[in-house]
Copies of this chain bind each other. A is one copy, B any other.
């Protein structure tokens, strides 16, 4: 039904099979650092229209692949599509960040959250997935994604971004029953959402637990990892999604790599605070590793970017199972030339390594 995959480095690396060179993609590779993205976004009028118009989402998804020999495409979308579809009314304004017009304020708000029908409520996402997959013509695999239940909960309860998560964390302690109800409803929707993305053509799936690292070692397993475990279990037991690799990424989760790897996910995302060599020693026999260059290094000169990319390739060593990436999304102010240097170096340095 879809064109045959030509570049399967990403999928091979996630399965920890040998590759000719280390695959590389970049979180937020379709984004504001690219002038062509800014032009398309201007045309769309606003960010949400871009997400909700499959042709435009497809266009910006493909833009970085026209510039750089990246080894994967990632669906252009937002982590907050599910709460938006549940009626919280998302708006995304540059400089302000995401806001919900109707955040969850009490137990009844949580109880009243609707069950989503992926075929209608989030059809724009699955349509975009299928369109992108076809447009890619098998050049590289397409990654689908979601925010983690806990990460979505923080925005749904706080009404937007937060530094301290006073409301969301307050709920974990004062009303854990409501927190669990919300997390379960969100998890159920996420499972349907990822299955729908798989059915629509996503060849790998990733869960962004952007705010898991704000939890404590005591609350993280209960309120974040436990729900990601449910997601992994559900995907791995469904015929449509069971062979599609799943990457879990808890930013700031370096202390908990063993328990993340123990979920049965295929790959674990690393931020830059973890040494990739020590992560490999800790969990490299169970999962592939994705990461982990500090995105701020892209502010340095192209030469320094290459040096650092080479260092990370070397630090991972001549093992299978490395997907090169940044440890967090690329910043809007980065010069695209630095990305060129990065991608080129990852490929050449890892190819040399096997000589």
A216 within 8 A of B: yes
Q: Could you list some 5 contacts between A and B, CB below 8 A?
A: A164-B331, A173-B304, A173-B308, A252-B252, A255-B278
B217 and A273 contacting across the interface, CB-CB below 8 Å: yes
Residues of B contacting A348 with CB < 8 Å? none
Q: How many copies does the complex hold?
A: 2
Q: Which residue of B lies closest to A295 (CB)?
A: B164
Residues of B contacting A217 with CB < 8 Å? 272-275, 278
A300 and B170 contacting across the interface, CB-CB below 8 Å: yes
Residues of B contacting A105 with CB < 8 Å? none
Q: Which residue of B lies closest to A216 (CB)?
A: B272
B215, B275, B278, B296: the one contacting A273 at CB < 8 Å is: B215
Minimum CB–CB distance from A346 to chain B (whole Å) comes to 16
A169 and B254 contacting across the interface, CB-CB below 8 Å: no
Residues of B contacting A331 with CB < 8 Å? 164, 166
User: What's the Cα separation between A32 and B16 when bound, in Å?
Assistant: 52
User: What's the Cα separation between A153 and B88 when bound, in Å?
Assistant: 41
A165 within 8 A of B: yes
User: What's the Cα separation between A169 and B299 when bound, in Å?
Assistant: 8
Q: Which A residues from 278 to 305 make CB contacts under 8 A with B?
A: 278, 292, 294-297, 299-301, 304
User: What's the Cα separation between A295 and B173 when bound, in Å?
Assistant: 12
Minimum CB–CB distance from A171 to chain B (whole Å) comes to 9
A4 within 8 A of B: no
Minimum CB–CB distance from A303 to chain B (whole Å) comes to 9
Size bracket of the A interface: 35 or more
A173 and B273 contacting across the interface, CB-CB below 8 Å: no
Residues of A within 8 A of B (CB): 164-167, 169-170, 173-174, 213, 215-220, 252, 254-255, 272-275, 278, 292, 294-297, 299-301, 304, 308, 311, 315, 327, 331, 333
Minimum CB–CB distance from A227 to chain B (whole Å) comes to 18
User: What's the Cα separation between A296 and B275 when bound, in Å?
Assistant: 29
Minimum CB–CB distance from A335 to chain B (whole Å) comes to 12
B166, B272, B296: the one contacting A296 at CB < 8 Å is: B166
Residues of B contacting A296 with CB < 8 Å? 164-166, 169-170
User: What's the Cα separation between A292 and B213 when bound, in Å?
Assistant: 15
Q: Could you list 7 further interchain pairs (A-B, Cβ under 8 angstroms) beyond the known A164-B296, A170-B300, A217-B273?
A: A164-B295, A169-B297, A170-B299, A174-B300, A217-B272, A217-B274, A254-B254
B255 and A300 contacting across the interface, CB-CB below 8 Å: no
Q: Which residue of B lies closest to A315 (CB)?
A: B218
Residues of B contacting A215 with CB < 8 Å? 273, 294
Residues of B contacting A252 with CB < 8 Å? 252, 273
Residues of B contacting A301 with CB < 8 Å? 173-174
Minimum CB–CB distance from A63 to chain B (whole Å) comes to 23
Minimum CB–CB distance from A61 to chain B (whole Å) comes to 25
Residues of B contacting A165 with CB < 8 Å? 296
Minimum CB–CB distance from A28 to chain B (whole Å) comes to 13
Q: Which residue of B lies closest to A327 (CB)?
A: B216
Minimum CB–CB distance from A139 to chain B (whole Å) comes to 32
Minimum CB–CB distance from A183 to chain B (whole Å) comes to 17
A300 and B173 contacting across the interface, CB-CB below 8 Å: yes
B304 and A174 contacting across the interface, CB-CB below 8 Å: yes
Minimum CB–CB distance from A38 to chain B (whole Å) comes to 19
User: What's the Cα separation between A69 and B237 when bound, in Å?
Assistant: 55
Minimum CB–CB distance from A160 to chain B (whole Å) comes to 16
